[in-house]
Structure 1
Amino acid sequence: MNLTISGHHLEVTPALREYVLTKLDRVTRHFDQVVDVNVLLTVEKNKEKERRQRAEVTLHVKGRDIFVESSHEDLYAAIDQLMDKLDRQVVRHKDKLQNHHHVSPKRSTAFTEAV
Structure 2
Amino acid sequence: MNLNITGHHVEVTPAIREYVNAKLDRVIRHFDNVTSVNVILSVEKLVQKSEVTLHVRGKDLFAESTDEDMYAAIDTMADKLDRQVIKHKQKLQDHAHDALKHQSTEV
Give the shorter-chain TM-score range: 0.7 to 0.9
**Partner residue in 2 for 1:100:** 97
Note the C-alpha offset of 1:100.
3.4
Structure 1 unaligned blocks of 5 or more: 109-115
The number of equivalent residue pairs is 99
Cα distance in structure 2, aligned partners of 1:38 and 1:16:
15
Cα distance in structure 1, aligned partners of 2:76 and 2:67:
9
User: 3-state SS of the aligned residue for 2:12?
Assistant: coil
More strand by share: 2
Q: Structure 2 length as normaliser, TM-score?
A: 0.88
More helix by share: 2
Structure 2 unaligned blocks of 5 or more: none
Where in structure 1 do 4 or more consecutive aligned residues deviate above 2 Å? 99-103
Q: What one-letter code is carried by the residue in structure 1 that aligns with 2:18?
A: E
**Partner residue in 1 for 2:30:** 30
Confirm whether residue 74 of structure 1 aligns to residue 89 of structure 2.
no
Query: Whose Rg is larger?
Result: 1
Cα distance in structure 1, aligned partners of 2:31 and 2:22:
15
Confirm whether residue 57 of structure 1 aligns to residue 48 of structure 2.
no
Q: What one-letter code is carried by the residue in structure 2 that aligns with 1:88?
A: R
The CA RMSD measured in Å over matched residues stands at: 1.2
Cα distance in structure 1, aligned partners of 2:10 and 2:73:
14
- Over the matched positions of the two proteins, sequence identity in percent amounts to 67
Give CA-to-partner distance per residue, 1:52-110, whole Å, 9 cap, x none: 0000001100000011100000000000000000000000000111123344xxxx8xx
1:87 to 82, 88, 93: 82
Q: Structure 1 length as normaliser, TM-score?
A: 0.82
Cα distance in structure 2, aligned partners of 1:83 and 1:23:
6
